[in-house]
Amino acid sequence: MSTVIWLRQDLRLADNPALGQALAGSGAVIPVYLHAPREEGPWALGGAAQWWLHHSLAALQTDLRARGSDLLLRATADSGAELLDIARSAGATRVLWNRRYEPSAIARDAAIKTRLRQQGLEAESYNGSLLREPWELKTKTGGPYQVFTPFWRQCLSLSDPAEPLAAPHRLPAPQRWPRSASLKELGLLPSVDWAQGLRETWEPGEAAALTRLRTFLRHGLQAYPTARDRPDLPGTSCLSPYLHFGEISPRQIWNEVRLHVLAAGGGRGPDQAWREHRFVTEIGWREFGYHLLYHFPETPQQPLRPAYARFPWSSPAFHLRAWQHGRTGYPIVDAGMRQLWSSGWMHNRVRMIVASFLVKHLLIDWIHGARWFWDTLVDADLASNTKGWQWTAGCGADAAPYFRIFNPISQGRKFDADGTYVRRWVPELARLSNDWIHEPWAAPDNELRQAGVRLGHEYPEPIVTHAAARNAALAALATLKN
């Protein structure tokens, strides 16, 4: 009973429920990846994520070949037809996959499951991406959660997720492989090479994901509750792209954290303490994002709070371009946007700062920020991206109030006190003292001369003033109340 396993955002061999079910049969297993960007609706992969996907598929293909198998690749506009063709060519009777939760994927997968079954094939899907399915957690009234704390409290009240599945040592291969495209033919890499910063920063793949997790647990977990807000420190796990592409599962992270904390021992009730760790809570925020996306599928394009559809957004193209290119005149904002462009990633605290600046200082619709992040982040994830931008704009679930407007100067001084982060990503300001690194326009003339900074030349003047922008944002908010 040969089985086709359709891989998508689960590019790993360990803890892969669909693969585990495929191996439970007695026949060959045919791992397949179909590149079908048109089926992703308005959210086909951006450039940075395509770069990651290329290298993740290459790593998976290497891992499969080491186990006597291979990865069958095809580019298509009709995944259902391709799966039928592959199953018939290989004499397979089953097609299995792990579920996705984006609106376009849910509709597509349901149609494919029906189509395959009508052709006499067994077609089943599994949970390989979340600790809990989005429909498993409900409020007391039976509806979806819109506030994180009770959502996560209920999640923690349930029994622990099942133990992660071990990676197989061998995969039974078919006698004859169906035709496959080469990885290059999928066209995922940019035609003009802009990815040097990504190559210098990341190593995609399942092995790299597990190494990064275990390194973080040894050297970063203890300090994480405070270090996670410091962009000048390596205080976060940087696992988000690995999670998005499924090179590691949340069950694996849950289990590794538990084992690490219990092995360390000490402290009160270590079995409970690890569940309460701030890092585990961040896994909960990812779960919450998928809960919201599943129950409110319109939110990638529309605000969850309908009143915000009437918000009087501005649309100055110059301001948007200045923000995108890290030329706003606010060093912490510009540092974040340049880090994003160079590495395909941005520290989470800085994501909040730059997002707040776009929607509340520049009054530019959050959807423009979500689109830019989507194209430039290696960890671009529809659930997390949507939740984060709507949280910042005040129009989503459990959102920050719109009147909470981050001051980029005080945020920089608080979380990058020595200016280390700004000096790395905005090197034209590197010689400014700590007193002025986050507010160069207020620096004395002699300080600017000694630092080699001419505002409006080496570094721009602020494109808006904080006080005026704050007043304009509050005035715009008042129009909704009226």
Residue 282 appears among annotated catalytic residues:
yes
Query: What is the dihedral sign for C-alpha 464, 469, 473, 479?
Result: negative
Out of 206, 247, 256, 282, pick the active-site residue. 282
Amino acid at 369: G
Residue 348 appears among annotated catalytic residues:
yes
CA gap 256, 10 in Å, rounded = 18
Residues 6+ apart with CB under 8 A from 395: 303, 304, 305, 307, 308, 311, 366, 402
Residue 366 appears among annotated catalytic residues:
yes
CA gap 396, 386 in Å, rounded = 9
Q: Which two tokens stand for residue 166?
A: 């071990």
Adjacent-strand bridge partners of 4: 30, 95
Q: How far is CA 162 from CA 110, 242, 247, 269, 452, in A?
A: 26, 20, 18, 22, 59
Number of other CB atoms surrounding residue 168 within 10 Å: 18
Query: What is the dihedral sign for C-alpha 78, 81, 84, 88?
Result: negative
Residue 200 appears among annotated catalytic residues:
no
Residue 345 appears among annotated catalytic residues:
no
Collapsed DSSP state (helix, strand, coil) of residue 32:
strand
Out of 40, 122, 313, 458, pick the active-site residue. 313
Number of other CB atoms surrounding residue 44 within 10 Å: 14
User: Of 27, 178, 21, nearest to 90 (Cα)?
Assistant: 178
Out of 51, 152, 374, 389, pick the active-site residue. 389
Out of 177, 255, 348, 407, pick the active-site residue. 348
Residue 471 appears among annotated catalytic residues:
no
User: Of 3, 2, 11, nearest to 246 (Cα)?
Assistant: 11
Backbone angles phi, psi at 234, to 5 degrees: -80, 65
Out of 43, 366, 372, 436, pick the active-site residue. 366
Out of 122, 133, 255, 285, pick the active-site residue. 285
- Known catalytic residues are 282, 285, 313, 348, 366, 389
